[in-house]
Amino acid sequence: MLIWKGDRGLFVFLIAIGGLIFGALVSGLFSSMGRDRSLAVGVGFGFLIAAFLVYRLLVDHSPSNKLDEITGEVIGVKKPPEHSLFFIPVRFWTFIYLFIGITSLISVFSAPGK
């Protein structure tokens, strides 16, 4: 596709949407902080959840080399096809979502309160 490559690229986007919906629901718990600050907390938590889910569900953790148990020989394994969203590989979206989530939470809790 033009925007994503591989099936996991699309799921990166869908997980972010799901995380933001969850964050919007969580932001109601922080309504005593004010509307803007509670939404920023929700966005922060939503992106942190999305980063965790992308890392656990979509990033390939299989090694590229395996050991043959019978002969003790190292066997090279073909790499799976590359998955990306907006030409950024899926493995980097975890860090992007972490950065957005942590930055959002820092901005809320470091700003002077009312």
The whole-number pLDDT of residue 53 equals 87
User: For position 114, what pLDDT does the model report?
Assistant: 57
Cα 88 to the chain's mean position, in Å? 13
**pLDDT of 78:** 64
Res. 99: pLDDT tops 90? yes
CB 36 within 8 A of CB 79: no
- pLDDT at res. 98: 92
Amino acid at 20: L
Radius of gyration of the chain (CA): 19
pLDDT at residue 88 in the model: 80
* 20 belongs to a structural domain: yes
Q: Which helix (H) or strand (E) holds 65?
A: strand 65-67
Instruction: For residue 72, tell me if it sits in a domain.
Output: no
Q: Per-residue pLDDT tens for 3-55?
A: 877 777 788 888 889 988 888 888 777 776 676 777 888 888 889 998 988 88
Q: Which range of residues forms the domain containing residue 51?
A: 4-59+78-110
13 and 85 in contact (C-beta within 8 Å)?
yes
- Residue 14 is assigned to a structural domain of this protein: yes
Q: Is residue 67 part of a domain?
A: no
